[in-house]
Amino acid sequence: MTALVIGVFVVMGLTIAFSSAVRYQTEVAPRRQAVLQEFAIENQLRSLIENAYIDSSLDSAHTFFIARNDPSGSSALGSGEAATELMFTVAGSRLSGGAIASDGSTFEDRNERIGPVGGVTERRIGLTPIGDAGNLTGAFLRQQTPSDDDPEQGGFESLLDERISSMSFEFWDGLDWQPDWDTETFERRLPAAVRITYTLTEDEETPRSFVVRVLGSDITASNPLGTTVEGGTP
């Protein structure tokens, strides 16, 4: 009788353990993987934007921060409510592995393959590719080093993440979130933060949002956009 009772408890324990393992594989593990994928997307976008840079010269066209609504892009917040395209410059970006590796190629070969190395980098993030992307869809990244006075084109374009189906950008001006930003027509100041809202192809009904702090911004609640700053413009 004692052995039978012990056997029953052992079977019950094994059954519970097996059920827990099955539940983990069917529910917990996929959800954990989805969360890790979201973190990867957000960390990648954060690393691209947080070091945005503009110089203090009012005549310089080589640094900029421009965000606007691209009619052909899909907005995560509704059409016209926020920018869907972001063009900006960064300083001190990391060198690519291709630029660091010494493969014995000539300067001309390296320049053709990976572009110039060093200087201010121009970036564009949006859902509409500048060039011919074939059948690829998602968020695209265009980068050019060094930047020039044309934020619309140039450099190399790649697919940033194929899982992003819609994306919107909003910008903190010290007092409120703004749907667009343009240092070419208004103040040459960076937003204090960028709020990104996006949806994924596998779950387009669930928008996700996160905030990227722009490290080089001088905007605060006591010094918002539109105020006179020392050495700057109103």
What is the model's pLDDT at position 85?
95
Encode the chain (234 residues) as per-residue pLDDT tens digits.
666 656 665 566 566 655 665 665 665 565 665 566 778 999 999 999 999 999 877 667 789 999 998 776 677 777 668 999 999 999 865 555 554 455 556 545 655 554 445 578 999 999 999 888 889 999 999 999 888 888 888 889 999 999 999 999 999 999 999 999 999 988 999 999 999 999 999 888 889 999 999 999 999 999 999 874 444 443
pLDDT at 207: 92
Alpha helices in 1-61 (DSSP H): 2-23, 29-49
Q: Which residues pair with 52 in a beta bridge?
A: 90
Residue 94 DSSP class: P
Q: Are 209 and 227 in contact (CB under 8 A)?
A: no
Half-sphere exposure of 54 (CA within 13 A, CB side): 24
How is the chain split into domains, by residue range?
A: 3-213
- In DSSP terms, 42 is beta-bridged to none
The pLDDT value recorded for residue 233 is: 42
Total-model pTM = 0.74
Residue 141 is predicted with a pLDDT of 96
Cα 127-133-137 angle, rounded to 5 deg: 45
Nearest to residue 74, comparing CAs of 140, 196, 135, 165? 165
Quick count: other Cβ atoms within 10 Å of Cβ 128? 16
Q: Return all residues near 49 (Cβ < 8 A) that are at least 6 apart.
A: 86, 88, 125, 194, 212, 214
Give the per-residue pLDDT at 13.
59
pLDDT for 231: 43
CA-to-CA distance for 150 and 162, rounded, in angstroms?
Answer: 26
Give, for 107, the enclosing helix (H) or strand (E).
helix 107-114
Own/partner contacts of 132-138, CB < 8 Å, gap of 24 or more, are: 133/157, 133/159, 136/162, 137/162, 137/165, 138/162, 138/163, 138/164, 138/165, 138/201
DSSP assignment, residue 83? B
- In a 10 Å sphere around its CB, with 0-12 CB exposed, 13-18 middle and 19+ buried, how is residue 211 labelled? middle
